[in-house]
Amino acid sequence: MAVLRMNLQYFAGEKTEKATPRKRQESRKKGQVAKTNELPSAIIFLLIFIMFFLLGPYLAKNIINLYYKVFDQYLIWEVTPSNIRILFLEFIADLVWIILPIFIVAFIGGLLGNLVQIGFLFTSEPLKIKFERLNPIEGAKRIFSLKSLVEMTKSILKIIFVGYIAYSVLLDEKDNLLSLYYYDLTEIIVFIGNLLIELGLKTSLLLIVLSLFDYLYKKYEYEKNIRMSKQDIKDEYKKTEGDPLIKGKIKEKQRQMAMSRMMQAVPEADVIITNPTHFAIAISYKPEEMEAPMVLAKGMDYIALKIKELAKEHQIATVENKWLARTLYHQVEIGESVPEELYHAVAEVLAYVYRVKGLKKQS
């Protein structure tokens, strides 16, 4: 019976994991975001035709005034070097009052379309020159890629839907279109304006719906492109948090340094409270410097043995009190003062040590 053995390392490079927040942030800085260019265009289109609907009489009035000015005034002016500048400035001023609202609405629509998708984002990364884009082989791959096929399908669908809307709107107004030659100029402009507004509003609403579907596709594509492998996540963790081996060595070195400093403080202790074998706590109390007794060092098992050896070398008194030693070890950190609830017990130990020292001096 054959046994199939698989090496999981072969799959370590497969990008199957969701991108981490750091990966997403780095992609955003590079300008890589889930974004469709269809939505800003559709919003601009919709806002412009809403503006036409709301400001139609104002725009129609300015267009008609410009039309009359051109044919009643400008065409009969004698063009001379002295008045050509005046003629040009007046014509531009009249034209600006017609075009300016369109530019303002287009700017707001483009800004809104991008803010809805990606929020505020400023990066110069997409503007950098990338010479690999000039590679004809890569260009051919992009042309015949799945992405190009999707874009072509979207364009065909837009043409079909927009064409159908235009056909249905024009078909409903067929009789009026054929009788336009009976209308005067103002009526023709109003009729065509209303027709264009109806056509534009319906088309822009359709484009917004299509752009929302396109955004969902771009979102899916973006999430797929920024996926990470398990090895990528491990490498990122090492980069941000540091290599675990190095961090372990650093922590070990820090523990050794802290242990060395703690042992150097043992000779300054007044008493060592022991378990007697498992715990050892070095206590110091200098009334002129401290408000309460302080723990200079503490340890368990091997460290406790070292503390007791140092205490013996420096002739520091050792007192056995199992409960007090265990309590101090678990409740008080090195360099902290003894809590109030342990004052009495520690004071009894210190009093005993001072009394023994006093007897020794007398003898």
pLDDT for residue 130 = 62
pLDDT for residue 124 = 64
Look up residue 199 and give its two tokens.
């056509």
Is the separation of the CB atoms in 232 and 49 below 8 Å?
A: no
pLDDT for residue 361 = 55
**Pairing relationship of beta strands 317-320 and 279-284 according to DSSP bridges:** unpaired
Look up residue 155 and give its two tokens.
């364009």
Give helix then strand counts, H and E, for the chain.
Answer: 13, 4
Q: Kindly state the percentage of the chain with pLDDT values over 70.
A: 84
Confidence band for 2, pLDDT divided at 50, 70 and 90: very low
Max Cα-Cα span within the chain = 136
- Give me the chain's average pLDDT, please: 79
Q: How many CA atoms lie within 13 A of 328 on its CB side?
A: 33
CA atoms of 305 and 299, how far apart (whole Å)? 8
Write down the domain spans for the chain. Answer: 30-123+131-227, 248-357
Model-wide pTM > 0.75:
no
Sheet holding 271-274, edge to edge: 294-300, 279-284, 271-274, 317-320
Is the separation of the CB atoms in 44 and 106 below 8 Å?
A: yes
pLDDT for residue 245 = 67
Amino acid letter, 261: R
**pLDDT (tens digit per residue) in 111-137:** 888 888 877 776 666 666 665 666 666
Closest to 69 measured CA to CA, from 56, 86, 52, 81: 86
pLDDT for residue 126 = 60
CATH fold of the domain at 248-357: name from scop (3.40.1690)
Confidence band for 264, pLDDT divided at 50, 70 and 90: confident
pLDDT for residue 243 = 60
Confidence band for 4, pLDDT divided at 50, 70 and 90: very low
**pLDDT (tens digit per residue) in 302-334:** 888 888 888 888 888 888 888 888 888 888 888
When mean pLDDT is compared across 41-50, 170-179, 228-237, 281-290, the lowest value belongs to 228-237
pLDDT for residue 139 = 58
